[in-house]
């Protein structure tokens, strides 16, 4: 996604296509739009991911209370193509730089004068101190064959 100012298009698209030539040769989509839309694409995508993570964490609490298995539940609903299995890993919430920052940016844009309030988007990682006990135990001891946390997190970065 490349945002281009229609008043001053310059060489942005040409340069971006050269920089990402390898990825584009593997059929990676290349989209162009105006600057405002490009900004909202990024923050909206991350706000959606944060909502999905917060959702499965809330479901984990219900599973814990009822004795259901949140991993089996996530696997089952993940078969629905509209939902997908990615980012349905219950845990302690989310952290890092992108999701919290982009949620704040999304909420700021949604709350600008003249705009109606946006949809419900989690304001933080989804749980913090209220993480389900089962999630705390699983993350604490690890689960063989499963990865916990953000798949792109660099070692040593905290939540």
- For residue 116, what are its two tokens? 């109606």
42: Cα within 13 Å, side-chain hemisphere:
16
Q: What is the dihedral of CA 98, 103, 109, 114, to 10 degrees?
A: 180
Tell me 97's DSSP state: S
Residue tagged active-site, from 16, 49, 98, 159 = 98
Distance CA 23, CA 38 (A): 19
Give catalytic status of residue 98 as yes or no: yes
Helix axes 70-78, 35-66, angle to 10 degrees: 140
Burial of 4 (0-12, 13-18, 19+ CB in 10 A): middle
Residues annotated as part of the active site = 98
């Amino acid at each position: 996604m490349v945002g281009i100012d229609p008043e001053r298009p310059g060489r942005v698209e040409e340069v971006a296509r050269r920089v990402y030539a390898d990825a584009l040769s593997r059929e990676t989509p290349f989209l162009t739009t105006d600057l405002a839309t490009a900004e909202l694409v990024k923050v909206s995508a991350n706000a959606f991911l944060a909502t999905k993570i917060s959702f499965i964490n809330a479901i984990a609490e219900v599973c814990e209370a009822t004795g259901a298995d949140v991993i089996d539940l996530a696997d089952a609903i993940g078969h629905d193509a509209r939902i997908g299995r990615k980012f349905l890993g219950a845990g302690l919430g989310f952290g890092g730089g992108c999701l919290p920052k982009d949620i704040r940016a999304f909420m700021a844009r949604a709350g600008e004068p003249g705009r109606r309030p946006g949809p419900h988007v989690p304001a933080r990682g989804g749980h913090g101190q209220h993480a389900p006990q089962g999630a705390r135990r699983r993350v604490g001891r690890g689960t063989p064959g499963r990865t916990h946390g953000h798949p792109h997190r660099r070692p040593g970065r905290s939540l």
